[in-house]
Amino acid sequence: MTSFDAGRQAESAAADYLKQHGFAIVARNWRTLWCEIDVIAQKDRAVYFCEVKYRQTNNQGSGLDYITPKKLQQMRVAAESWVQLTGWTGEYQLSAVEVSGDDFAVTAFVETI
């Protein structure tokens, strides 16, 4: 399996997890020339911009360990771009979903990062 395939499977696992927890999936792999968002989900009156981090093992740290200040800044730019382009006027927040192992299990969901 390529890393691209693993990434897609991890994003599917994350989207399924979010749906099971009452979120509606607004978009997957939303992108512009400058930024991308793995999963955009909505619950109640808020939109969640979800970064999906997959690690087959935690030998080099968990997926969440790879959400650096630089990555957070990229996420903010992407979220603000989506908000501006869609005209969204409600609440929104940055979130993260960690997916691990050969079975692509969701091991963590951070609603607000």
- Where are the domains positioned within the chain? 3-110
What is the total residue count of the chain?
113
> 39 has which bridge partners?
28, 50
Q: How confident is the model at residue 22 (pLDDT cuts 50, 70, 90)?
A: very high
Residue with tokens 């999936």: 25
Task: Give residue-wise pLDDT tens across range 38-89.
Answer: 999 999 999 999 999 998 876 666 778 888 999 999 999 999 999 999 999 9
Domain 3-110 listed as CATH 3.40.1350.10:
yes
Closest CA to 36 of 17, 19, 11, 3: 11
Task: Give residue-wise pLDDT tens across range 7-21.
Answer: 899 999 999 999 999
pLDDT of residue 105: 94
CB neighbours (10 Å) of residue 100? 20
The pTM assigned to this predicted structure is 0.91
Q: Which amino acid is at 77?
A: V
